[in-house]
Amino acid sequence: MRAPYSAYAGVYDRSGQTRFGEAMARITIEWLASQEFQPGSVLDLATGTGAAALAFAREGLVTTGLDRSPEMLAQAAEKARSEQLPITLFEADMRAFEIETPTELVTAFFDSVNYLISDQDLAACFRAVEQALTPGGWFVFDANTIERYRQAWNDSTEIAFQDDYTLVIYRSSFDPVTGVSPLLLTTFERIDPEGDLWRRWDETHIERGYPLAEIERLLAEAGLEQVSVEALNERAMTLEGPATERSARAVFFAQKPASPE
């Protein structure tokens, strides 16, 4: 069994996974503009191969990304190099990180916070975010709801991606008592382009769905004011109005209070 994202890192971009983060960067900038907030800097948590981080950097934001997977970070670094985008990337756990200079925006996209599978982990992440933000700064992230795991991940087998050289299979289940949803991700890659030799890798990815109210409570405990929770239409990549427990994915917009005058 391999560490999560160690083998999958090489397939992630090819299988179209960057579209989500790129769209979330656009949605975030547009939503913040509607609040008359234009961030000059961003820290993208669980940045992966840097989909959102690169999009932010292209918009001129001073951009930092962290992730715990060195393989995902290596992909992000290579892309930043080839586009000559000055992004700072570092390996860290989003439950325990520090940055030297506070940032005006922290983001975490594509169910990255669902990888935190206990209230304590989520609380630790939110506290670290609060510390990293400038007063008045924003934390924007999406989360799969319990409904998403119940409907789409329970007892599910899916061919997530295939081409002539690669086959990615997702097998997942869902425990309604704990909200935890383990996903076994199997990647086959053809070793000899002309022949029938394939290499197989297995990774276990564990996510958890939280009630929206639980996320709101933990944000408040960390000192972050939740301003809006929007349902995401994932086909159109647009916000659809207030999220409910029936939504598949919610986008949270939370703010660190500005310093008193």
Ligand X SMILES: C[S@@+](CC[C@H](N)C(=O)[O-])C[C@H]1O[C@@H](n2cnc3c(N)ncnc32)[C@H](O)[C@@H]1O
Residues found near ligand X in the complex (CB under 6 A): 5, 17-18, 20-21, 46-48, 51-52, 67-69, 72, 93-95, 109-112, 115
Q: What is the DSSP string of 166-218?
A: EEEEEEE---TTT-EEEEEEEEEEESSTTSS-EEEEEEEEEEE---HHHHHHH
Nearer to ligand X, 3 or 197 (CB): 3
Instruction: Give me the least distance between CB of 89 and ligand X, in Å please.
Output: 12
Nearer to ligand X, 72 or 224 (CB): 72
Report how far apart the first and last C-alpha atoms of the chain are (Å, whole number). Answer: 54
Nearer to ligand X, 95 or 256 (CB): 95
Q: Where are the alpha helices (DSSP H) in the chain?
A: 9-12, 18-34, 51-58, 70-83, 119-132, 146-148, 212-221
Which residue is at the shortest CB distance from ligand X?
48
Nearer to ligand X, 12 or 261 (CB): 12
Instruction: Give me the least distance between CB of 217 and ligand X, in Å please.
Output: 20
Element (H, E) at 141: strand 133-144
Kindly report the number of other CB atoms within 10 A of residue 150's CB atom.
Answer: 14
Instruction: Give me the least distance between CB of 118 and ligand X, in Å please.
Output: 11
Residue 111 neighbours by CB under 8 Å, 6+ apart: 142, 143, 144, 207, 249
Instruction: Give me the least distance between CB of 134 and ligand X, in Å please.
Output: 22
Q: Is 260 helix (H, G, I), strand (E, B) or coil?
A: coil
Burial state string for 84-111 with b = 16 or more CB within 10 A and e = fewer than 16: ebebebeebbbbebebeeebbbbbbbbb
Nearer to ligand X, 76 or 219 (CB): 76
Nearer to ligand X, 17 or 190 (CB): 17
Instruction: Give me the least distance between CB of 59 and ligand X, in Å please.
Output: 16
Instruction: Give me the least distance between CB of 113 and ligand X, in Å please.
Output: 9
Nearer to ligand X, 56 or 174 (CB): 56
In 3D space, the residue among 185, 183, 181 whose CA is nearest the CA of residue 202 turns out to be: 185
Backbone angles phi, psi at 248, to 5 degrees: -80, -35
Tokens 């999009």, residue located: 55
Instruction: Give me the least distance between CB of 80 and ligand X, in Å please.
Output: 14
